[in-house]
A and B are shown apart, each in its own frame.
Chain A
Amino acid sequence: MDARLLTIALLALSPAPSLAQPAAAADDDARRWKNEFHLKPVAIDSTATTSATLGLDYRYVGTYSRPPLKRTAVGADEFTVDDFAGKTLTYAKGEVLANGSLVASKAKSPNKLIELRADGLYVRDSRAVTLQGGFVGKFETDQGLDDRQLMYGVTAAATRFGLLGKRGDIGSAILSFGTVDPSRDAERKRLLGRLEAYQRWELELTYSRPVNGVEWLRSIDLGGRAFKEVGAPDAIRRAGLHDHTWGVLRLNLKQPYFIQYSGGSLPFDKKSERAIKAGLSLKLD
């Protein structure tokens, strides 16, 4: 690990409820349509920079859900365990998402990728696993909006409680495949002479688990993302732009402290970066 990474000083104020504005909605509407918007000030130091930089992590999610296809236990005096353990819940939903970091200097961002996403999904939830599948479209750009591309394709996800046998742990796997249509990509154009659509696999794995009996450590989060271009031209391969992998490990310490290490590259990153966030979460409300 870069020695400088060990001397990181970073403060992340999160989450900031006074900045978060979930939309008010009537009860009936809330089940169908939901908005959430969050801003979180952060400071980041990484191998990309010689000094720390300030920024904002942001996240917007709007979700529309159709009512469940079935209604069981209606008219009964009691719910039984089987009502929740033995039955499958199915419904359709659509959502839009904006997710990323805004930094004071785009050159100082450890990862450049900004995503705007929309999807339409079918959800099949059972006690054993929650499955989701459908169509996804994404607008991907970098911090300076210099490079831009559309991605559209199919996606599927599986999530399970008790994934690795530890009581309380949970994890997800999300696999997507689609066409990437770059409208502006200076590096790709320089290498190929022109911009053409290509196909790409994308895999995302996450895992979270509680830690019992350790006073200073509450839980652990792990995450990873991998992107792989199908049939990438030699010039793209030689430049190392045909695949990207990125991972994060976060130790959630005794509140409000945490340590987070991330490394790797995402689309639009020309090389791998590593970054540590070590800080605390403060309640501002």
Chain B
Amino acid sequence: MATGRTGRTSWTERNMACVAAYNILENDLLLNQFEDIHVPFAGAGSRKLSDVCAYFPKFPVSPMDLRGRAHQMARQYLIAVVKNYTGRKEDRMLSAEEALMDFTALFESDKATLLQLAQATDDVFRFKDE
């Protein structure tokens, strides 16, 4: 599974997966989920997606609502990775549907951090720095 190799990525500007995860969520022309003045890159790795991203509702909602939002975010995120960074796969046998499900689970969890998103991105995609 895409998130199986967690723990090997540290949050640093030298890691392209971290840069990609942060930029895609922050950039006003991409997912536009937060402003850098509120969530600076340094230290952003430990921040939870549910805390810093606008897509995650801060009041209780139906699980159908949260699941739908997570699906839409996962799809937009993966499109942004391929368009702006890389489409090269780490595992040739990984399907697009499996990647979508894995990233949906991340965006649906209120515990997932930006670092975990970067780790999952690093697990699925081969960046130029690798």
Q: Which residues does A use to contact B, with CB under 8 Å?
A: 15, 17, 20, 22, 27-28, 30-31, 34, 36, 38, 57, 59, 61, 63, 65, 67-68, 70-81, 83-85, 87, 89, 91, 93, 95, 97, 99, 117, 119, 121, 123, 125, 127, 130, 132, 155, 157-161, 167-170, 172, 174, 204, 206, 208-210, 212-213, 215, 218-219, 221, 223, 248, 250, 252, 254-255, 258, 260, 262, 281
Among A67, A123, A170, which residue has its beta carbon within 8 angstroms of that of B72? A170
Judging by beta carbons under 8 Å apart, are B28 and A212 in contact? yes
**Closest Cβ–Cβ distance, residue A246 to chain B (whole Å):** 11
Question: What residues of B have a CB within 8 angstroms of the CB of A97 in the complex?
Answer: 62-63
Judging by beta carbons under 8 Å apart, are B64 and A174 in contact? yes
Judging by beta carbons under 8 Å apart, are A212 and B97 in contact? no
Judging by beta carbons under 8 Å apart, are B60 and A99 in contact? yes
* Known interface pairs A15-B110, A210-B34, A223-B61; A132-B95 also in contact (CB < 8 Å): no
Judging by beta carbons under 8 Å apart, are A68 and B97 in contact? yes
**Closest Cβ–Cβ distance, residue A266 to chain B (whole Å):** 12
Question: What residues of A have a CB within 8 angstroms of the CB of B63 in the complex?
Answer: 61, 63, 95, 97, 117
Instruction: Give the residues from 57 to 105 in chain B that come closer than 8 angstroms, CB to CB, to chain A.
Output: 57-65, 67-69, 71-73, 75-76, 78-79, 82-83, 87-89, 92-102, 105
Interface pairs (11), CB distance under 8 Å = A63-B67, A73-B89, A74-B93, A91-B101, A97-B62, A121-B64, A130-B67, A157-B68, A170-B72, A204-B62, A208-B69
Judging by beta carbons under 8 Å apart, are A155 and B64 in contact? yes
Question: What residues of B have a CB within 8 angstroms of the CB of A123 in the complex?
Answer: 67, 71
Question: What residues of A have a CB within 8 angstroms of the CB of B93 in the complex?
Answer: 74-75
8 nearest interchain CB pairs? A159-B68, A168-B32, A68-B97, A71-B95, A219-B54, A210-B54, A161-B72, A83-B96
Question: What residues of B have a CB within 8 angstroms of the CB of A75 in the complex?
Answer: 92-93
Q: Which residues does B use to contact A, with CB under 8 Å?
A: 1, 3-4, 28-35, 37-38, 50-52, 54-65, 67-69, 71-73, 75-76, 78-79, 82-83, 87-89, 92-102, 105, 109-111, 125
Among A79, A121, A209, A212, which residue has its beta carbon within 8 angstroms of that of B35? A212
Judging by beta carbons under 8 Å apart, are B69 and A254 in contact? no
